[in-house]
Amino acid sequence: MDIRFDKLGVVIAAIAAYGAYVAPFAIFRANRIVPGEPRSILEALPQPLGPLLLVALVAAGLVALLKTPLPVRLLASIAALASLVLLIGIAATYLTPEGNTFARVSPASGFWVSIFAFTLLLADGLTRLQLSPLGRIVALALAAAAISWLLASGRWDSLSILKEYFNRSDVFWSEAQRHVTLALGSLAGAVIVGLPLGILCHRVEALRAGVLNVLNIIQTIPSIALFGILIAPLGWIAANVPGAAAIGIRGIGVAPAFVALFLYSLLPVVANTVVGLGGVPRAANDAARGMGMTGWQRLWRVEFPLAFPVILTGIRIVLVQNIGLATIAALIGGGGFGVFVFQGIGQMAMDLVLLGAVPTVAMAFAAAIILDAVVEIAATRRPVTVTA
């Protein structure tokens, strides 16, 4: 019998073995800030769930290790992930003393390492499956629906991150709205300004190097430094320009965060617009000129449609970047999920840090998948034809 090993599967199996048998599965704390006590899978789960989970993880690891059929690999990864996320909730309930409202149970490194291993197996399987752009969006929607069901079912209510959420649910959604507003608002501003600026740089070559160099310099400034640089001028505007403070312009708060994110967003939008328009085939432009199209007609009917996938790639980069950078806005009173991250760091409460970090990562991941699919759809659509 010829046993063949999968190269990536060897790595996945090694990571999964470490997560299941070496690293702790859960952390128990008597309260939210004291040092935690690690618990293995067998210690964190009631009988017979602990041994069953170990058997399931070993089986999924063997599927990853060997060259197995693609459907088997997909089913094994989904089963392992489902087992992990369901049983971590049971572990939290099992480890928390009845009636104790101070105790905290968190997923430990073994849980996260195992999740990473089998997510890698699932991602590898989906890549080999070569899903269409719509298929990737459907897979993301199914994953989001499963997580939503899990949260709504109450199976994770004993986990410390959910306890932190229940204590701050109103503030959480307020900061979530502000985080999304900062990320999308700065993106919208960058598109409104960056697209015409990119078109101008494409048409007027003398401006191109200067504009792109200035935007490159802005991009190299660290985010915290840029936030700090903007405090003084915006504070001066708020104090000296009538009506500026009334519309929200201040030295600290949302205004400097919005301006900083806007400035960071300009380079990808402008640069990709220039590159996209520069990549339009000369033959398409020549045909449009031969038909008597004006410069604006050529731009909107020929050049822009052909350059759109490249421009959309720049917008995708900006959105993912801004979702992450908006976290830093909390340092200057801009709000967003960074409020929980920095509060948690200050209180040494890592579950509060996760309350801000996990939704940020989830939003960036979802935005990347959706916009990647949209870029691929735009790039593979029927080419623009020049007609009279």
> What pLDDT is stored for residue 331 in this prediction?
82
pTM: 0.83
> What pLDDT is stored for residue 108 in this prediction?
92
Question: Which is higher by pLDDT, 274 or 248?
Answer: 274
Q: Which residues contact residue 159 at a Cβ distance below 8 angstroms, ignoring those fewer than 6 apart? A: 88, 89, 92, 105, 106, 107
CA distance from start to end of the chain:
67
Q: 18-22, 156-160, 288-292 — which is least confidently predicted?
A: 288-292
> What pLDDT is stored for residue 2 in this prediction?
65
> What pLDDT is stored for residue 246 in this prediction?
66
Mean pLDDT of 233-253: 70
pLDDT at 388 over 50: no
> What pLDDT is stored for residue 285 in this prediction?
73
pLDDT at 276 over 70: yes
Q: Is 27 helix (H, G, I), strand (E, B) or coil?
A: strand
Q: d(Cα 143, Cα 166) in Å, to the nearest integer?
A: 23
DSSP classification of residue 35? P
Mean pLDDT of 362-376: 90
Percent above pLDDT 70 for the chain: 94
Name all domains of the chain by residue range, CATH numbers in brackets: 7-167 (no CATH), 169-380 (1.10.3720.10)
